[in-house]
Amino acid sequence: MQRILIADDHPMFATALTMAAHSADPTILVDAAATLADAEATARAHSHDLILLDLMLPDVQGFAGLAMLRAMRPATPIAIVTSRDEPAIVHQAVKLGARGFLSKATPIEGMVGAIRVLLAGGQWLPDGAMADPVDSDPRAARIGELSVAQLKVLRAIASGRQNKQIAYDLGIAEPTVKSHLAAIFRKIGVSNRTQAVLLLKSFDPVPTDQPGSV
């Protein structure tokens, strides 16, 4: 019996994905999460054959959620589901390890087909999308290579937390935080916190209501 995780905070779309999953296979088990924290907890508790991940959850914006779940479950295929389907976003998702990319404008029949393909081990991308575009930023792969602990520390410094706060929040020693930071800087090719945060944020989609968005 197959099991999937749907991480989406929009009840109507989460319901649509659940219906599509049951149409693809009536016996499939579906776990639901409305935040990345819930998705992490569910992914720790169960093994999944597929994760359908909303790009913008309340507690994480952009590709940090994909990187975190990829680090936790590297063998589990993950598909991004979002209303944003610009080629640059599709390319970045694939570069960070997404197996699929599903627009929220997709008809229910398309969702069913996508889930079937992904569960069968295939890849599902929008028509015309390049699986390995030559113009993708090679640094994206470095974010995807961070461990779960390193990603948590990176997200914490992106939120403005200092080492003592991070150590308290994560239940680790402050020297351990410093050790994680040194490893993060080395892996992603930066020399300080500011550069690390800017690199992380540079992979997030530009909000559609801001100048310069597409």
| Confidence bin at 62 (pLDDT 50/70/90) | confident
pLDDT value of position 139: 66
The per-residue DSSP string of the chain comes to: --EEEEE-S-HHHHHHHHHHHHHH-TT-EEEEESSHHHHHHHHHH---SEEEEESEETTEETTHHHHHHHHH-TTS-EEEEES---HHHHHHHHHTT-SEEEETTS-HHHHHHHHHHHHTT--B--TT--SS-TTS-TTHHHHHTS-HHHHHHHHHHHTT--HHHHHHHHT--HHHHHHHHHHHHHHHT-SSHHHHHHHHHHTSPPPTTSTT--
- Per-residue pLDDT averaged across 39-62, rounded? 92
pTM equals 0.79
Residue-wise pLDDT for 69-123, tens only, equals 999 999 999 999 998 878 888 888 888 889 999 999 999 999 999 999 999 999 9
Query: What is the set of domains in the chain, with CATH numbers?
Result: 3-119 (3.40.50.2300), 140-202 (1.10.10.10)
